[in-house]
Chain A
Amino acid sequence: AQSVTQPDIHITVSEGASLELRCNYSYGATPYLFWYVQSPGQGLQLLLKYFSGDTLVQGIKGFEAEFKRSQSSFNLRKPSVHWSDAAEYFCAVSRGTGANNLFFGTGTRLTVIP
């Protein structure tokens, strides 16, 4: 069965510091992987997705993620965090093809300190 693990429940970083949020998945087939951000009062916003091809994926707001099949990981990174990045981040895997039947991780809450 598919599963998504986000080991870090809460991460605190200083503004301007680099960020890495971890995501590990378990899925038998080639995964379709996503990172979403959830801010209070806002719907989930897609940061980036991986379907195939280049394993380093660029997203919006300066985020990137790298798909590592050998480690079953899809970690999200940002070189320099801004205060507005404080939010809840979710990794998700599709159980089908494309963006269907998303299975979400438990999320990582990011706090940014000045």
Chain B
Amino acid sequence: GAVVSQHPSWVICKSGTSVKIECRSLDFQATTMFWYRQFPKQSLMLMATSNEGSKATYEQGVEKDKFLINHASLTLSTLTVTSAHPEDSSFYICSAKFSSYEQYFGPGTRLTVT
């Protein structure tokens, strides 16, 4: 149980375009979803926290107009990278939780901006 999926697992886009990444909790309703960014050989950095039906809370230094987060339902959150540039290339990971005690992580989405 407690499975989180992400789609796509890998995406390449051209500089200046936007790309949307989906995060779904498959077998539970997530009260909160989180988005992380992971650079090669580095740690996960929390980008934002979202609760269903509410605006996301962004971490300091994260551009909310570039990284649009929508949490329209208890099982789906989306991250849209707008006007992507090569420096946005990274591994994006979402997680979801329904209790206070554990986050369940998706497998991640590798974004390459050319």
Binding site for B on A (CB under 8 A): 36, 41-46, 49, 51, 90, 97-107
Contacts and interface: CB of A to CB of B under 8 A. Distances in A.
Given A49-B101, A99-B97, A99-B103, A106 B4 contact: no
Interface in B62-114: 93, 95, 97, 99-108
B54 interface: no
Contact of A43 (B41, B42, B45, B93): B93
A102 to B, nearest CB: 7
A25 B4 CA distance: 28
Closest 4 CB pairs of A and B: A98-B100, A43-B105, A44-B105, A104-B43
Contacts of A104: 43-45
A90 B43 contact: yes
B32 to A, nearest CB: 8
Contacts of A100: 32, 49, 100
A107 B102 CA distance: 19
Contacts of B106: 43
A106 to B, nearest CB: 5
B92 to A, nearest CB: 12
